[in-house]
Amino acid sequence: MPKLSRSDWYDLARDMNWTFGYVNEADVFPEELSGTGRVPPEAWLAWDEPYKISYREYVHNQVTKDTTTYSLKNAVGRSKLFDQLDPGWKSVVVAHYGAIAMPEYLASFGEARMGRFGRAAAWRNTATFGTLDEVRHGQIQTFFPYGLLGKEPRGDWALKAFHTNNWITLAVRHLFDDMFVANDALSVAIQLTFTLETGFTNLQFLGMAADAIDVGDLEFGSLISSIQTDEARHAQQGEPTIKVLIDNGHKEYGQFLVDHMFWRAWRAFALLTGLSMDYYTPLDSRKMSFKEFIQDWVVKQFADQFRDYGLDFPWYWDEFINELDWYHHAIHTVVWNYRPSVWWNSDAGVSPKERQWLEEKYPGWNRAFGKHWDVLTENVRTGNLAETFPETLPVACNLCQLPIVRAAGVLAGAHTDPAPLRHVHNGRVYQFCSEPCRWIFTRRPERFAGHKSITDRLWTGDINPPNIGGVLAYMGLSEAEHGVDADNYAWANGKH
């Protein structure tokens, strides 16, 4: 037992600072890697994380978490629990592993960059734990799906997805490269830990763990809870960082970084969580709609934080709130249509009962989106399945890399013109799904200009042959891996 209480020794043990005698400040903290140069070095000494932990305590806690989670996995792995899960829920899990396991590991790069180039010793200390957290999350989220391989071969997409040019991967990789793989320490703190983790994922993981337990997926529920406890701790890095930035007169820059990443996080959430909550999770287990979830958790929570720190709402706030009604519904229709191109089984989620729920939660859903599903349903019923599959690609946004669905925005009354937004940079035409995506691109075009969207790759001959077969092969999917309708079309026959 330590003789002193933590507060007696903590600062001394944590604050490993010294004055550089042999090297320059700029050599130790190059701006490209640190990003902290706007604020003088002494001002960073005010950086303080609210929740303190020592290395000994950290290791003790993590061992306990791993022991609990792995024991549960061993017990559940011998049962038939996974086989009994709803097919839509299995899709939630398989989609999650492919999209998230590798980014969690890559997030350890961002954490390690803060652990080295964060300008305060306290920050570097917290980031060191964050690095270990993210290594753990990468490992545990590839190991758990490995255990599913006997039942779900596409569990290996936890590892594989990021090594392909699948269109979902392109979107997720572009986002996370921007957020933490190729980002300086200050921006990682504000964009990963403050904007994404504090703003979105902490809350999402809480909800997801509860849903998992509700549908009977104890293994996934326990895994997600175990991860969430780490996230909540290392996400603390954002608040002290933004506080130091604002206290030293750089609110505008902090606001820019938040505005940039809040929109991108919203796009990723609409894709992954929007589809999961409103279409894949079985109806009986839905506690709230995706829109209610974002309103209750993200909007309220962020409203508090913006106020507390003197930040403003992002300039596109009205557009964001408006999109809660329609954007993810459009993306869902496209993902289902392109179901062979994703590594999970897309759950249409539009049985008569589910459509009733959608109309209740999103008044006008039938008028804007139900019409497409009427046509799709009719094609399924009459055995005209070929017409439910695509023959070309949608045009992807050159920032978020997701399909441009302004056409659906027109149906929902949010836009008047379905045409993609454009920007010409060095003679190349870039197309965007929204004003915020175009704004993010044009503020720092050199950061994004070299990237080709999946549609660019089709147009410029990277994908051969330039047809849907070539596209699926380019995306790294063997025929056995193509996603199929999760319910084998039971929804279309009204038997769901």
Partner 1 sequence: MALLPLSGTFLGDVTTVGVVVDDEDTAEAVGQKIAHHAVGRRVAARTAPIRVRLGGRVLDPDEIIGRTGVSPYDHVEVFFDE
Partner 2 sequence: MSDWHDVATLDDLWEGDVAEVAVGPDTILLAHLPGRQVRAYQGICPHSEYSLAGGDLDGDVLTCTGHLWEFDLRTGEGVNPSNCRLYEYPVRLSGEQIAVSVPTDGRPHYNRCRG
Residues near partner 2 (CB under 8 A):
6-7, 49-53, 61, 198, 202, 206, 229, 232-233, 236, 239, 304-305
Q: In which residue are the tokens 């200050």 written?
A: 186
Minimum distance from residue 44 beta carbon to partner 2 (Å): 19
Minimum distance from residue 374 beta carbon to partner 2 (Å): 41
Touching partner 1, residues 411-430 (CB under 8 A): 411, 418-420, 429
Touching partner 1, residues 364-393 (CB under 8 A): 369, 371-372, 374-376, 379, 387-388, 390-393
Minimum distance from residue 492 beta carbon to partner 1 (Å): 14
Cβ contact 138:102 at 8 Å? yes
Q: In the set 147, 466, 470, 476, which binds partner 1 (CB under 8 A)?
A: 466
| Residue 420's binding partner out of partner 1, partner 2, none, with CB under 5 to 8 Å set by partner kind | partner 1
CA 117 to chain centre: 25
Alpha-carbon distance of 251 to 270, in angstroms, equals 28
Quick note: the x/- pattern for partner 1 over 394-413, rule CB under 8 A, is xx-------xxxxxx-xx--
Alpha-carbon distance of 169 to 78, in angstroms, equals 32
CA 342 to chain centre: 16
410-419: string of b/e by CB count within 10 Å (b at 16+)?
ebbebbeeee
- Considering beta carbons, is residue 41 or 470 the nearer one to partner 1? 470
Task: Determine if 337 is a binding residue for partner 1 (CB under 8 A).
Answer: yes
| Residue 395's binding partner out of partner 2, partner 1, none, with CB under 5 to 8 Å set by partner kind | partner 1
Q: In which residue are the tokens 């279309």 written?
A: 492
| Residue 304's binding partner out of partner 1, partner 2, none, with CB under 5 to 8 Å set by partner kind | partner 2
According to DSSP, residue 181 is labeled I
- Considering beta carbons, is residue 17 or 229 the nearer one to partner 2? 229
Minimum distance from residue 395 beta carbon to partner 1 (Å): 4
Minimum distance from residue 198 beta carbon to partner 2 (Å): 7
Minimum distance from residue 291 beta carbon to partner 1 (Å): 18
| Residue 256's binding partner out of partner 2, partner 1, none, with CB under 5 to 8 Å set by partner kind | none
- Considering beta carbons, is residue 2 or 50 the nearer one to partner 2? 50
Length reported for the chain: 496
Cβ contact 199:262 at 8 Å? yes
285-297: string of b/e by CB count within 10 Å (b at 16+)?
bbeebbbebbeeb
Minimum distance from residue 266 beta carbon to partner 1 (Å): 19
Alpha-carbon distance of 179 to 106, in angstroms, equals 10
Cβ contact 281:92 at 8 Å? yes
Alpha-carbon distance of 322 to 409, in angstroms, equals 10
- Considering beta carbons, is residue 193 or 434 the nearer one to partner 2? 193
Alpha-carbon distance of 44 to 411, in angstroms, equals 50
- Considering beta carbons, is residue 6 or 287 the nearer one to partner 2? 6
- Considering beta carbons, is residue 88 or 118 the nearer one to partner 2? 118
Q: Dihedral (C-alpha) 391, 394, 395, 399: value to the nearest 10 degrees?
A: -140
Cβ contact 433:405 at 8 Å? yes
Task: Determine if 349 is a binding residue for partner 1 (CB under 8 A).
Answer: no
| Residue 318's binding partner out of partner 1, partner 2, none, with CB under 5 to 8 Å set by partner kind | none
Tell me how crowded residue 264 is: count the other CB atoms within 10 A of its CB. 23
